[in-house]
Amino acid sequence: MASESLHPASAPSRRTVVAAVGATGLAITLNACGSDDGGSSGSAGSSGTVLGKTADIPEGGGKIFKEQGVVVTQPTAGEFKAFSSKCTHQGCAVTGIAKGVITCPCHQSEFSVSDGSVKKGPATQALPAEKITVSGDSIELA
């Protein structure tokens, strides 16, 4: 309150810009959903499920989609990969992605965000790749 009264002219305009950006993002999201429903049939199954937007996936890291059991990574700018989120050691769901590795909370196995390969055991097998398609800024399970 007190700080706003210091700059009565600039505060409202800044707020307007933020609101406009928010509205644009929302419109894009709605559009993507609408075109998916109309364009492809059978989107009720896992195939064609929209996981998220490319902007949701940090470069050099990734995001875990718990419900779908999938980890989507972006090892380098514009390159997206997906793996099963089920640890190959004893089947726990991986929960963390940091510094280029996907981490399993159960026994701290680590897998590469680039190819799912084991960086640190006890797991000995890579996370299996999952198929995704990127159309525009939307990432879907293939």
Q: Binding residues for ligand FES, per CB under 6 A?
A: 87, 89-90, 92, 104, 106-107, 109, 122-123
Cβ neighbourhood burial of 41 (10 Å; 0-12, 13-18, 19+): exposed
- Smaller CB separation from ligand FES, 42 or 91: 91
Whether residue 111 contacts residue 127, with contact meaning beta carbons closer than 8 Å, is answered with yes
Distances (CA, A) of 62 to 37, 53, 67, 83, 94: 26, 12, 16, 10, 12
Minimum CB–partner distance for residue 92 and ligand FES (Å): 4
- Smaller CB separation from ligand FES, 87 or 139: 87
- Smaller CB separation from ligand FES, 89 or 119: 89
Minimum CB–partner distance for residue 111 and ligand FES (Å): 9
- Smaller CB separation from ligand FES, 63 or 89: 89
Minimum CB–partner distance for residue 125 and ligand FES (Å): 11
Minimum CB–partner distance for residue 93 and ligand FES (Å): 9
- Which tokens is 89 given? 């050691």
What is the greatest pairwise CA distance in the chain? 61
**Closest CA relative to residue 140, chosen from 45, 23, 31:** 45
